[in-house]
Structure 1
Amino acid sequence: MKFSARDIILGAMFASLAVVAALLLRFLGSAIVPFSLVPFVALLAGAMLGGRLGAMSILVYVLMGLLGLPVFEKPPYGGPAYVLQPTFGFLLGFILAAYVTGKLIPAGGDAGLFRYIAASLAGVAVYYLVGLPYLYLILNLYLGKALSAMAVIKIGFIPFVGADIVKAALASGLARAVARRLRAV
């Protein structure tokens, strides 16, 4: 894969934005699955940068955390052991969500708002499809919590899906507005 200097800068900007999004809400509590703005950034990265570069920017964010930089929202905030955190599957899902969102929007951003929203909602579905099974496996197999699938849905889906739909709509509106503005220039 070849990336231009512009691609590298844009990817780094979105990786940095993901760090800021995680740090903003770090001190709000210690829920198993915390409220986060990182999904908004992942959807926005996919919608604005396209699938490949959007996914790469979120991958860089995740790799920074796995290398030990304290960029994640929950303790231990980074390091390779973070893969054993119940929410790590959502981080993997954000990478795929950025990719899917970007792939469903035509290059150049020449699409209607409905297309942007549909692409972002597909991204939301993707990170839940990755994150919820991972949450279930870590809670049950690693932490020994013996939770049912319905209990995991009550912990990791029901409290967040409404806000995630709003994040998808906001990311879609912002990405489309920026794309339209850039085409006008």
Structure 2
Amino acid sequence: MTALFVALIAVGAFIRVPLPNCPFTLQILFTTLAGIVLGSRLGAASVGIYIVLGLIGVPIFTSGGGPGYILQPTFGYLIGFMVGAYAVGRIAESMEKLSFKRLLVGSILNLFIVYGLGMIYLYFIMNLYLGKPIGVEAVIITCFLIPVGPDIFLCAVAASLGKRIVKELHR
């Protein structure tokens, strides 16, 4: 199952809507599902394996791959995917019976972790490394306000699918 989620996360990177500095992909759906279905450790591990594969040169990130990708403005989102998958996985593990409402709350917490780490990383890489100044307001508008609506919808999809998948796996 971990390998399946590594593959789904990679595929999710290529199903994207380009936005300035912050491409919108289906990765949030698959990384959230990884946490819900696999649990905190394996969910985070599946994202970690995806990141390692990309960093060793497999072109599975939204803009390629290789060790230099660490200096891409969007690399912080990848870190956020791993931390967020762990967080939503912990929430799912803490439930005796999965509820859509709690999975949705966990999914949205995951989303805020991803956005928080992603925007902070982007801000510092753009301003300190790339020398392309960007203000906090611009980061919030282009990397949060614009893409957050579709991602909240994907959180609801992940909570619903995750509940069904876990139920089926535990039959």
Number of the residue aligned with 1:14: 5
Counterparts in 2 of 1:111 and 1:45: CA distance versus 1, 3 Å: same
Larger Rg: 1
Matches within 5 A, 1:128-147: 128-147=115-134
Aligned CA RMSD, in angstroms, stands at 1.6
2:55·2:66 contact (CA, 8 Å) conserved in 1? yes
Aligned mates of 2:27, 2:166 — CA distance in 1:
21
Number of the residue aligned with 1:106: 93
Q: Tell me the amino acid that sits aligned with residue 15 of structure 1.
A: V
Aligned mates of 2:7, 2:129 — CA distance in 1:
31
Misfit runs of 4+, over 4 Å:
none
Q: Tell me the amino acid that sits aligned with residue 125 of structure 1.
A: F
TM norm structure 1: 0.87
State the shift of 1:90 in Å: 0.2
1:32·1:86 contact (CA, 8 Å) conserved in 2? yes
State yes or no: 1:34 paired with 2:18.
no
Q: Determine which of 134, 155, 160 is the counterpart of 1:168.
A: 155
State the shift of 1:112 in Å: 1.1
Matched residues, percent identical?
Answer: 39
Aligned mates of 1:32, 1:103 — CA distance in 2:
30
Give the length in aligned residue pairs: 171
Counterparts in 2 of 1:109 and 1:168: CA distance versus 1, 3 Å: farther
When structure 1 is superposed on structure 2, of 93-102 and 110-119 the one drifting more is: 110-119
Q: Tell me the amino acid that sits aligned with residue 126 of structure 1.
A: I
Q: Tell me the amino acid that sits aligned with residue 156 of structure 2.
A: A
State yes or no: 1:61 paired with 2:50.
yes
Q: Tell me the amino acid that sits aligned with residue 36 of structure 1.
A: T
2:151 alignment partner, SS class: helix
